[in-house]
């Protein structure tokens, strides 16, 4: 993990780095309390589709975890996102498609995957899981004994749920804005959900334009964890209320504990 820049603002150090995976540099950011020493619980933050590692909601969450809990937080650009975009026009088309589906309302913008897009979806998920695992290896090399949590909704769940299911170092996860349905890799995704054993907080929107109500409830039912909770709010895909962030903090504090 190569550090490429660092700055401090209002008690939070923001450290930019490149993580090498398979010969490719993966851009990321690590946030930590200014002047912090020793290991501390760390939250891995997976951003949504068409977003990136420093999109406003990721930045706000990371700073909250640092300022309110004394934790560290880390985010990576997912494959094909942020500084990893190689075709800006294609990325803009995907953004417009997503925007149009949300504008169409619940059930009005069903997604149909062509063979190439389906292959890209599965490849992105597979690469994303590998990259998060490599990041954990790097973080462990810097500070042993760290307790890890994962937060990621929408695409952050598409990648993060299989990652958490395969990664014993993750002790608790916030997931959501996703469900079981007709999507590429759906059987593997459901299998990962059923193999989950860590505490999970699942966040759903009852009027989600991208995830049907039954799809979200089916995902909650499939999650194999003995401790799992669903928070369901009215509103669309991008309308999760801000007060839910208080629940994220309480959830991670309960399962990762305070800073030693």
Q: What is the pLDDT of residue 100?
A: 76
Q: Is residue 21 over pLDDT 80?
A: yes
14 three-state secondary structure: strand
Quote the CA–CA distance of 64 and 75 in Å, as a whole number. 14
Domains in the chain (CATH in brackets) are: 39-256 (3.40.50.1820)
Query: Are the CB atoms for 252 and 43 separated by under 8 Å?
Result: yes
Q: Mean of the pLDDT values across residues 46-73?
A: 96
Residue 141: strand, helix, or coil? helix
Residues with Cβ within 8 Å of residue 92, at least 6 apart in sequence: none
- pLDDT (tens digit, 9 = 90+) per residue, 64-117? 999 999 999 999 999 999 999 888 888 888 788 777 777 777 865 456 666 777
pLDDT tens, residue by residue, 229-258: 999 999 999 999 999 999 999 999 999 999
């Amino acid at each position: 993990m190569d550090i490429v820049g660092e700055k401090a603002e209002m008690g939070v150090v923001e450290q930019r780095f490149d993580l090498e995976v398979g010969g490719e540099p993966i851009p990321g950011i690590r946030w930590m309390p200014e002047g912090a020493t020793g290991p501390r619980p760390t939250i891995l933050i997976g951003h949504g589709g068409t977003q990136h590692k420093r999109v406003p909601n990721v930045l706000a969450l990371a700073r909250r975890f640092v300022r309110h809990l004394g934790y560290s937080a880390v985010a990576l650009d997912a494959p094909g996102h942020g500084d990893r975009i190689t075709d800006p026009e294609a990325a803009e088309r995907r953004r417009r498609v997503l925007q149009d589906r949300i504008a169409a309302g619940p059930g009005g913008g069903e997604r149909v995957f062509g063979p190439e897009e389906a292959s890209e979806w599965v490849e992105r998920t597979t690469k994303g899981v590998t990259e998060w695992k490599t990041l954990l290896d790097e973080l462990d090399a810097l500070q042993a004994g760290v307790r890890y949590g994962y937060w990621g909704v929408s695409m952050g769940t598409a990648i993060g749920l299989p990652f958490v299911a395969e990664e014993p170092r993750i002790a608790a996860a916030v997931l959501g804005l996703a469900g079981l349905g007709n999507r590429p890799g759906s059987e593997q995704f459901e299998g990962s959900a059923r193999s989950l054993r860590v505490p999970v907080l699942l966040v759903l929107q009852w009027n989600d334009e991208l995830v049907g109500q039954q799809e979200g409830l089916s995902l909650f039912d499939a999650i194999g964890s003995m401790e799992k909770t669903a928070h369901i709010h009215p509103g669309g895909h991008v309308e999760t209320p801000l007060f839910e962030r208080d629940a994220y903090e309480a959830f991670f504090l309960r399962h990762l504990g305070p800073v030693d």
